[in-house]
Amino acid sequence: MSIIKGVDWVLPQIKWSIKRGDSLLFWHSRWHELSPFTQTNPRLFALSTKKGDSIANMWNAEKADWDLYPRRPLRSVEEVLWEDMKVSLPPLPDSGFDNPRWTLNNNGSFTVASIKLARPLNNQDETNEDDGEIYNNLWKSTIPKRCKFFVWTLLHECINTMDMLQRRLPTWNLKPSWCILCKAAEEDRQHFFTHCPFSTNLLKKVEVILGKSLLFPNSTTLCKDLFKTKGKTKKQTIKQYLVAATLWNIWNERNRMIFRGEEKKVDSV
């Protein structure tokens, strides 16, 4: 997971100078400030018959213009989307080679030193020294193994919520991508576990049972607070059991609603 996070940080630091456009994919590569277009323009991507083609193949030399090569005539709304997208695209020179430029150096060349200077400023989500103890406390706890693994996936931000699936499968068009529990917001990890009314109501009930407030501005903070100390006391052990089981059951409820169609309203929690 650390490698994935590293790639996600590094890729935006690379800006491409496109010449012939034969070395990168039009829809999937990060070659433009608004790309990859599979994510920023999923509707147009779904209409194109050249989903896996290079940048060069999307340039119509006869028209000297970009061509969507749609599978059907565009509707008026789609025409507007395509024209707006083309406005941001530079013409293809069709001469020379495509070159990457490293934005953290004035000369455009990559150096490790540039990363060392810039990385601490963008390192808010990076694992810190205390995380090792948190993981150690998690795996040594007495909560069920399934809950342990589930909390571990939350801490590593690799649970398959809609936003994560879209990142892993950019060619898919996940619509609607709303939260199945409240149907009022896009489903991402932070909304689903700590901001969704369904989840918030359950966590507040857990607070009543425990007789103390939980720290849950987001799921990562909640899980870290849960295992920042060992479950030595009975109260601490009960807290770990109850919160971890609640998060696990929220996820199971979501999956039942999606895959079995078992509807449950937020008010019934």
The full set of domain ranges for the chain reads 14-99, 131-268
Classify residue 105 by burial, with Cβ atoms within 10 Å: 0-12, 13-18, 19+: middle
**Residue 206 in this model has a pLDDT that exceeds 80:** yes
Instruction: Tell me the longest C-alpha to C-alpha distance in the chain.
Output: 76
Long-range contacts for 219-222 (Cβ within 8 Å, ≥24 apart)?
Answer: 219/154, 219/189, 219/190, 219/192, 219/193, 219/194, 219/247, 220/154, 220/155, 220/157, 222/193, 222/194, 222/247
pLDDT digits (tens, 9 = 90+) for 153-194: 998 888 888 888 887 777 777 776 888 888 888 898 889 998
CA 69/CA 135 separation, integer angstroms: 50
**Residue 65 Cα to chain centre, angstroms:** 33
Contact between residue 199 and residue 253 where contact means Cβ atoms under 8 Å apart: no
pTM across the whole model:
0.52
For residue 123, the model assigns a pLDDT of 47
Q: Residue 70 carries which DSSP code?
A: B
Of 155-159, 256-260, 264-268, which range is least confident? 264-268
Instruction: Compute the average pLDDT of residues 202-209.
Output: 93
